[in-house]
Amino acid sequence: MTTAARRVPARGPGLAGYRTRVPILEISDLIIRHDVATGASLPVRRDEVIAALRAAGDRRGARIVAGLPHRDGVLEAAAVDRLLVRTHTELQRLNEELRIAEQLAELLGPLLAAVARGGERPRVVDVGCGIGYAVRWLAAAGVLGDVDLSGVDFNPALVAEATRLADVEGLACRFVRGDAFALPGSATVYISVGVLHHLRGDALGAFFRAQADAGAQAYCHFDIAATRLAPVGAWMFHRARMREPLGRHDGVVSARRAHTDHDLMTAARSAPGLVPLLHRPTHHSNPFCASVRPLLGVRPQEVSALRAALGPAARHLVTDSRPMRRPW
């Protein structure tokens, strides 16, 4: 279970102000569980999820889970899979409107130009790809040229949907089930969209280290910018654009538990051999435009090649971050 912490008012006499730290939970992290080794889905008890959400003070989340179908108290895996596919399809609609894949392509092109070795076909792998929107968009647009595109996710239902959608449109990309911490195969560049905030505590650093260990030349990870306005924007946008209560709930929670620039940079620095660079860090951006911002990583000797490949956009690259509260 991945968690973030928030301060809540302590209850009971004599306890002044904010004392205890309780987790901020996304329902989608709680309602599925897989055997890491085999990928087989494991039973999830509905009461346990409800209890975890209630303990976190999240009564709305608990109500949403209470409405999910179950058999003898165990959530019905097929219904949960369908729900997650529906929610990810709605999430894709948000990514489309915010043109996330376009933003990704604008950075990925220069990144590949800077790090790809002559003669080798570059390999781009999307970690936590969901239904594979970013990879399928890149394959359909063909903007990266001759690149091997694939996606990895630990949820087999999402991988199956990504594969189905790619097949329907005849797109040259693949999707496999796999864990971000034990990556199958290798990649020139690892990418992700909206995954980092799911990784809490040590898992965040381990995510970057797994990519370094897999021999990555670079990475480019997009996630929600941690601003104080982000939860308000997320509430408004998810309310206007999503129908699934789970998606609306998790969308706001994601914004509340997004990592600060500093936390991301600190975790990314733990990956040996790759220098993290923030592009348009949160405190440099217009608060309403910073819905997501990317963290790039390259080998030290390739930083100047990346700057050259980015051209004028390189002026938005930052290598250091200050520990600071959420701006705006």
Partner 1 sequence: MSAAVAVPVVLASIALVDAALAGFRAATGRNGLIRKRAYYVVAMRRGLAGGAAVLGCLALVLGAVLATAPDPGTRYTGLTQAGISMLWVIGPFAAVVVASLVGYAVLPRRPATFLILLGLGPLTLIRPWVTVAAGLTAAWTALDLPTAVCTVVAATSVLAVEPWVHRRWYAEPA
Tokens in use for 175? 């999707």
**C-beta of 244 vs 327, nearer to ligand SAM:** 244
Amino acid making up residue 147 = V
Residue 136 interacting with partner 1 (CB under 8 A): yes
Output DSSP code: residue 316. Answer: G
Stretch 190-229 residues interacting with ligand SAM (CB under 6 A): 193-195, 198
Cα–Cα nearest to 175, from 119, 132, 222 = 132
State the binding partner of 18 from partner 1, ligand SAM, none, CB within 5 to 8 A by kind: none
Which string of DSSP letters, residue by residue, matches 40-80? -B---BHHHHHHHHHHTT-HHHHHHHHTS-EETTEE-HHHH
Q: Which residues contact 111 (CB under 8 A, 6 or more apart)?
A: 189, 218, 220, 296, 298, 306, 309
State the binding partner of 93 from partner 1, ligand SAM, none, CB within 5 to 8 A by kind: partner 1
Q: How many CA atoms, within 13 angstroms, populate the side-chain half-sphere of residue 209?
A: 9
Contact residue for ligand SAM among 58, 81, 153, 261 (CB under 6 A): 153
State the binding partner of 198 from partner 1, ligand SAM, none, CB within 5 to 8 A by kind: ligand SAM
Residue 125 pairs in a beta bridge with 150, 190
For helices 77-97 and 100-115, angle between their N-to-C axes, nearest 10 degrees:
80
Residue 236 interacting with partner 1 (CB under 8 A): yes
Q: Are strands 123-127 and 148-153 parallel, antiparallel or unpaired?
A: parallel
**Residue 4 beta carbon to partner 1: minimum distance, rounded to whole angstroms:** 23
Q: What is the dihedral of CA 189, 191, 197, 199, to 10 degrees?
A: -50
Amino acid making up residue 69 = P
Q: Please answer whether residues 112 and 175 qualify as being in contact, where contact means their C-beta atoms are separated by less than 8 angstroms.
A: no
State the binding partner of 165 from ligand SAM, partner 1, none, CB within 5 to 8 A by kind: partner 1
DSSP SS3 for 29:
helix
Residue 297 interacting with ligand SAM (CB under 6 A): no
**Residue 15 beta carbon to ligand SAM: minimum distance, rounded to whole angstroms:** 35
Stretch 259-298 residues interacting with partner 1 (CB under 8 A): 286, 288-289, 291
**C-beta of 153 vs 161, nearer to partner 1:** 161
Count of residues of this chain found to bind ligand SAM when the rule CB under 6 A is applied: 18
Contact residue for partner 1 among 153, 161, 223, 261 (CB under 8 A): 161
**C-beta of 131 vs 159, nearer to partner 1:** 131
Residue 120 interacting with partner 1 (CB under 8 A): no
Distance, CA of 99 to CA of 79 (rounded, Å): 30
Contact residue for partner 1 among 12, 119, 168, 301 (CB under 8 A): 168
**Residue 6 beta carbon to ligand SAM: minimum distance, rounded to whole angstroms:** 19
Under the rule (CB under 8 A), what is the footprint of partner 1? 85-86, 88-90, 92-93, 97-99, 102-103, 131, 133, 136-137, 140, 161, 165, 168-169, 171, 233, 236-237, 239-243, 286, 288-289, 291
Residues that bind ligand SAM (CB under 6 A): 88, 91, 95, 128-130, 133, 153-155, 158, 179-181, 193-195, 198
